[in-house]
Structure 1
Amino acid sequence: MSKTLIRHATVEDADTIVALVQALAIYENEPLSSVKLTAEDIRRDGFGASIRFEALIAELDNEAVGFALYFHNYSTWEGRAGLFVEDLFVLERARGHGLGRQLITALAAIADARGCRRLDLNVLDWNPTREFYHRLGIHHKTEWLPYRMTQPALARLGDAADPAWFPGRPTRL
């Protein structure tokens, strides 16, 4: 019988997380060049002075084969924080061992323990795991449409901000 484990990621998992994100890109039919993430990004933003995300690692027989990367958001209507799952992924060869379910239940336990009122995530419309989420009581929101702005449009719009409103605007990274 295979041994499964869900654990909090550590700084030593930085390279593993990058490799799993690259595997996720392949699963989503995206070119590897679309993944800009580096191990240094993981170390800085997940374990540095200003934590921007947390992650869980899924192991099968002591090998990292999946992950969930998440962070807090905030609901003005609920007046409470929520948990946003940026990515949840298990390598194809490790599927069927319950690791996806263990990851999502661990996230639900974290959210509940922290007083979060909701857990949010996005799923591609073609992803067969949508039915898995439905069975767990995670529902597709049809009335909300996702919008996104990326660089360089983000920088152009930010440059239009009134300098008096944002004095000493930091330089871009």
Structure 2
Amino acid sequence: MAIAIRQATIDDVALLHRAILKLADGVSAALKVRSTPDDLRRHGFGDNPAFEAQIAEVDGDFAGMCLYFPSFSTWRGKPGIYVQDIFVEEQFRGRQIGERMLQTVAEQGLAKGAAYLRLSVDADNHGAQGFYTHLGIEWSQWEHIHGIYGDAFIALAAREIERER
């Protein structure tokens, strides 16, 4: 069994999107995915890509992906990496493919000056939580992620704030 980890290219957009859909389906959230392959193509492979991705292959077959982007910690004063999505096909799980992808992302990040890696995991995804803990990726009990999306985001961006005179 030959495992290869490589940088995703624009030709991998369909694989990436299919993996995102499978990942969402695995946590009963498939209906929440609104991205399209065209979104990934436009935002990940243009002049100013918003993300990068790794592709894992076993004997030439797609086995998984890891999608990530740079971040910065004002408290640490250092750049880092945020892993948005990591997915391994069920038939390839237990073969250290996820660990290899995270190691590759960390290695590339370190070479570019990154000092940490962060990610989020669904509260009910205990298998993934155990996997991350095993790798030394600790759960942060003092942080909670908040988000604003869609119309609420647009309303915030357009909100007129009364300025003090």
Fold-level similarity (TM above 0.5): yes
3-state SS of paired residue (1:143): coil
Which residue matches 2:67? 69
Is 1:159 aligned to 2:153, yes or no? no
How big is each residue's C-alpha offset from its partner over 1:67-97, in whole Å with a ceiling of 9 and x where there is no partner?
Answer: 0000011111222211000001101111122
1:120 aligned residue (118, 121, 124): 118
Q: Which runs of 5+ in 1 are unaligned?
A: 163-173
Would the aligned equivalents of 1:20 and 1:65 in 2 still touch at CA under 8 Å? Answer: no
Number of matched residues?
160
**For 1:88 and 1:95, how far apart are their aligned partners in 2?**
12
> Which 5+ residue runs of structure 2 have no aligned equivalent?
none
Select the residue among 70, 89, 97 that pairs with 1:99.
97
| Runs of 4+ more than 3 Å apart | none
Could you tell me how far 1:52 is from its partner in structure 2?
A: 0.4
Taking only the aligned residue pairs, the percentage that are identical comes to: 33
Q: Residue 55 of structure 1: which of 53, 56, 63 is its match?
A: 53
Q: Determine the C-alpha separation between the residues in 1 that align with 2:70 and 2:63.
A: 24
C-alpha distance in structure 2 between counterparts of 1:161 and 1:86, whole Å = 32
Q: Secondary structure at the match of 2:6?
A: strand
TM-score (norm. length: structure 1): 0.88
What amino acid sits opposite 2:111 in the alignment? A
For the aligned residue pairs, the C-alpha RMSD in angstroms reads: 1.3
Q: Residue 161 of structure 1: CA displacement?
A: 4.2
TM-score (norm. length: structure 2): 0.92
Counterpart in 2 of 1:3? Answer: 2
Q: Which residue is equivalent to 2:20?
A: 21
